[in-house]
Amino acid sequence: MRKTRFGTIAAMAAIGAMALTSCGGSGNEADGDKIRIGIKFDQPGLGFKDGDNYTGFDVDVAKYVANELGYPEDKIEFVSAPSANRETMLQNNQVDMIFATYSITDERNKVIDFAGPYFVAGQDLLVASDSDIDGPEALNGKNLCSVTGSTSAQKVKDKYAEGTNLQELPGYAECVTQMSGGTIDAVTTDDIILAGLAAQPAYKGKFKVVGKPFSEEKYGVGLPDGTDKCKAINEAITKMIDSGDWQKALDKNTEGTGYTPNSKTNPPKLADTCA
């Protein structure tokens, strides 16, 4: 089983931890140690770095889970986890866990472990608030934007509207800027990513998520293969959901977009997914 840094306390630190416990401190906190959590740094509403501040739904869930594992906010080190690097970062012990719109798939499960899911997203459309586009079938003759290398826009063209005009840009923020200028009719990716973009102060009230998802993506917590922390993380996620803090975090990060996640899949009901 791969060793992880979860709960690791050096011998000298253990003495301090015992002293804290005897004085009423938390016996779970790893004194003097930090936990490294991979997030996106460039996804508003989910994982976003602004100076020394980290915001977004993924970040809020990560902070809650870390605290339940004994790592308060000042013990967390957030690390940028680009999509293409996530498995490698876990395999090379660069991070302890990853919250970064990380879809659980059988292929990824061959090399890493997952806890969760903590959210179930679906591919959807972001359009202008006054747009009459009500789903992917309405995109014939329209300009649809997604990021370079993504399969989201092509999926719409292949399955729903062959006459869609595809536009690829380096990032979703660029897509939304173009839509604000009127050259793009819709943007497509996971619904919660779209809601996070639309919730930005510069765009509030200008865009809406259509609300008819046409795929299902289970966002999990990426973990090193063989970890023993999956069950504890699932328990923390369940506690966050049951306490109402999960809903508060979601509302805070999607406010003003009209976005409501699929009630059939959210909040997610965690099965015994831990091996």
What is the tens place of the pLDDT at every residue in 142-177? Answer: 999 998 867 788 889 999 999 999 999 988 889 999
pLDDT classification of 269: cutoffs 50, 70, 90: confident
- The pTM assigned to this predicted structure is 0.79
Q: What pLDDT, on the 0 to 100 scale, is given for residue 275?
A: 64
**Residue 3 falls inside a structural domain:** no
Structure confidence at residue 84 (pLDDT): 84
In degrees, rounded to 5, the angle at the alpha carbon of residue 214 between the alpha carbons of residues 212 and 216 is 115
Return d(Cα 96, Cα 94) in angstroms, integer. 7
Produce one character per residue of 12-49: b if its CB has 16 or more CB atoms within 10 Å, e if not.
eeeeebeeeeeeeeeeebbbebebbbbbbbebbbbbbb
Mark whether 187 and 223 lie in a shared domain.
no
> Does 261 fall in a domain?
no
Question: Could you tell me if 143 and 82 lie in one domain?
Answer: no
36 and 60 assigned to the same domain: yes
- Using CA atoms, how far apart are residues 254 and 60, in angstroms rounded to an integer? 13
Do 156 and 179 meet the contact criterion of CB atoms below 8 Å apart?
no
Question: pLDDT of 226-252, one tens digit each?
Answer: 999 999 999 999 999 999 999 999 999
Q: Does residue 102 surpass a pLDDT of 70?
A: yes
Longest Cα separation, the chain: 69
The pLDDT assigned to 255 comes to 85
**Residue 48's domain is classified under what CATH number?**
3.40.190.10
Q: Is the pLDDT of residue 15 over 80?
A: no
| Residue 269 counted as domain residue | no
Give me the helices (H) in 162-243, please: 172-180, 191-198, 230-243
Q: What is the DSSP letter of 51?
A: T
Contact status, residue 179 vs residue 207, Cβ threshold 8 Å: yes
Judged by average pLDDT, the poorest of 69-73, 76-80, 266-270 is 266-270
As for how many domains the chain has, the answer is 2
Same domain, 101 and 153: no
- Domain assignment present for residue 272? The answer is no
Residue 36 domain-assigned?
Answer: yes
Residue 61, domain extent: 12-121+217-254
Q: Which helix (H) or strand (E) holds 145?
A: strand 143-147
Fill in the DSSP letter of residue 27: T
